[in-house]
Amino acid sequence: MELSAYPIEKPDGMNVIVGQAHFVKSIEDLHEALAGASPQLRFGIAFSEASGPCLIRCSGNEADLIDLAARNAEGIGAGHSFIIFLREGFPVNVLNAVKTVSEVCTVFCATANPVEVLVAQTEFGRGIIGVIDGLPPAGIETDADVADRKALLRKLGYKL
């Protein structure tokens, strides 16, 4: 077995969701879940088939995000994996909709951080074994850090 790390190509601050699903209609169902989550959400999705023609299936409502998803799916090269890029929305707003798609097996990450996808390759094929999401902890939060976190959540509208 050979292990590698594929760094997700994305602009700084762009949100990405990486997961695994199991059926060719996953691309359509993921598209419908995202489109139904928010009318202003811009997104691109790529899903890698693991049987039949083994194509990377793509969808979305923003051409540059569809292209970005396709390039990253090709770089990862793992069957039954999907990657979603979001603009004008956050993973927290769509993650439950993504997870309720019946074909979705796993969500590895949903983040705006730098991400590396850990890929294992055997004679049989390639598979995602995990992700590196962001940087390691710099310490334990202080009272001032707690106040800053709560202020940010209120500023973003997630808390009263």
Model-wide pTM > 0.75: yes
- 2-155 carries CATH number 3.40.50.300: no
Percent of the chain with pLDDT over 70: 100
141: which residues sit within 8 A by CB, 6+ positions away? 149
Annotated domain spans of the chain: 2-155
Q: Give the per-residue pLDDT at 58.
A: 98
Tokens describing residue 24: 């060719």
Looking at residue 157, its pLDDT comes to 86
In tens, the pLDDT along 24-83 reads 899 999 999 999 999 899 999 999 999 999 999 999 999 999 999 999 999 999 999 999
Strand 15-21 to 56-60 pairing: unpaired
